[in-house]
Amino acid sequence: MTNTSVKRKQELKLALGLVLPALIIMAAVNLYPLIYSFVISLRDYDFHGDKSYPFCGLENYIYIFEDVRFWRSLGITLIFTAGAVTLEIGLALMCALALNRKFRGQGALRVIALLPWAIPPVVNGILWKWILNPRYGALNGLLMQLGVIDEYIVWLGSPSLAMLMVILTDVWKETPFIMLLLLAALQSVPSYLYDAAKIDGAGAFRTFKEVTLALIRPALFVALSLRTIWALKSFDLIYALTQGGPSNSTEVLGYYTYQKSFVSLHMGRGAAAAYIMTFIVLLIVIFYQKAVYQDVEY
């Protein structure tokens, strides 16, 4: 064995030794719960039962698939995700393009734009609960003063309006993060490519499509994937703002899972619902990877 290979082996062992504690902790806090919750999903883990929690195979999964409320929650989740992510990506792209230009106060504006993202989700939910209050909410007050409405609107009172409000609340909070990602990507686009496009006679739209959009595609993929995953497993905002109401119209999958676990106290069904949700997220990310992600060369 040569000296170099012995040294490499030693380095590898040292590296392994150094990351081992972190690996053990990660396994304890991530892997173990993941495996244990899967085991729970295969048992009749009902706190109202006799506490023997017998193995029941795929019964919990079958129950979830046969539950009308699950399918309704899935539909609501998809509407929420599609609405929120589309608006967030669109708005974030516009904001990033605007903030990518040089102007006075650009730095300050970037910091201010990031503020909503710094607010914890539950605080965001409570904040908006009061903004949307049907009798004392700031939104009604503002619209009334501007003459846009002549009667206060019960924003969270009807299913469609409540869903729209939940989406807008999510957009308000999450857009800055996407904007930050896209802004970073925009700043890495070499300026000579724009010069070349100009020389080639490309118009503004074509330059945007062929240069800007093409080059920020990997960042877009990351943003789209992350936001979709987060939106699909949304819980805190719904919990704080509507608790799934009115008439279960904002009951997303995350909230449905919570209901099964902490209201019905059937941890087995809750775990099964969580695993189904994870599988759906996985499918969508694979789809994104195939549809959106492409290596860019220039």
Partner 1 sequence: MKRALLIVLVLMVVAFGVYAGGTAEKETESVVLRALIRPDEGGNVQKYADIFEAETGIRVEVDFVGWAEIHDKSISTLSAGGGGYDIIFVPSANVVEFTSVGDFEALNNMISSGEKADWLQPVLDLYTREGDLVAMPWYSGGAHMVYNKEILDKAGVDPEKIVTWNDFKDACKKIKAAELLKYVYTPTAKYPGNFYYAWGSMVASSGESFFDAAGKPVFDKGSAVLDSLKLVSEGTKEGLFDPAAIAMDDYEALIQFGSGDTAFMMNSTWSATQAYRNADLSKVTGKVGYMLIPGWKSEPRSGGFLYAGGLGILKSSRYKEEAKQFLTLLTSADAQKHHAIEGANLPTRVALFEDKEIDSSWAGYKALTAQLSYGSFLPQYSWFEEWRQATSGVVQKTIAGNITPEKAFDLILENARKAQ
Residues that bind partner 1 (CB under 8 A): 10, 13-14, 17-18, 20-21, 47-48, 132-136, 152, 154-158, 162, 243, 245-248, 259, 262-265, 267
Which helix (H) or strand (E) covers residue 210, if one does? Answer: none
Report helix, strand or coil for 78.
helix
- Report the residue number, 207 or 248, with the smaller CB distance to partner 1: 248
Report the nearest approach of partner 1 to the CB of residue 11 (Å): 8
- Report the residue number, 16 or 184, with the smaller CB distance to partner 1: 16
CB 132 within 8 A of CB 139: yes
> Which residue in this structure is represented by tokens 């729970």?
40
Report the nearest approach of partner 1 to the CB of residue 31 (Å): 18
Report the nearest approach of partner 1 to the CB of residue 59 (Å): 18
Torsion of CA 9, 14, 16, 22, to 10 degrees: -170
- Count the neighbouring beta carbons within 10 Å of the beta carbon of residue 81: 24
Report the nearest approach of partner 1 to the CB of residue 198 (Å): 53
Report the nearest approach of partner 1 to the CB of residue 36 (Å): 12
Report the nearest approach of partner 1 to the CB of residue 40 (Å): 10
Burial class (CB in 10 A: 0-12, 13-18, 19+), 79: middle
- Report the residue number, 127 or 162, with the smaller CB distance to partner 1: 162
Report the nearest approach of partner 1 to the CB of residue 102 (Å): 45
- Report the residue number, 13 or 209, with the smaller CB distance to partner 1: 13
- Report the residue number, 11 or 200, with the smaller CB distance to partner 1: 11
* Nearest alpha-carbon partner for 250 in 164, 124, 142, 145: 164
- Could you tell me the maximum CA-CA distance found in the chain, to the nearest angstrom? 86
Report the nearest approach of partner 1 to the CB of residue 51 (Å): 9
- CA 216 – CA 180 distance, rounded (Å): 12
- Report the residue number, 218 or 245, with the smaller CB distance to partner 1: 245
* First and final C-alpha spacing in the chain: 43
Q: For 261, what's the count of Cα atoms within 13 Å in the CB-facing half-sphere? A: 16
- CA 196 – CA 211 distance, rounded (Å): 10
- Report the residue number, 14 or 213, with the smaller CB distance to partner 1: 14
- CA 89 – CA 291 distance, rounded (Å): 16
Q: Angle, to 10 degrees, between the axis of helix 68-99 and the axis of helix 106-118?
A: 170
Burial class (CB in 10 A: 0-12, 13-18, 19+), 125: buried
- Report the residue number, 83 or 137, with the smaller CB distance to partner 1: 137
Length of the chain equals: 298
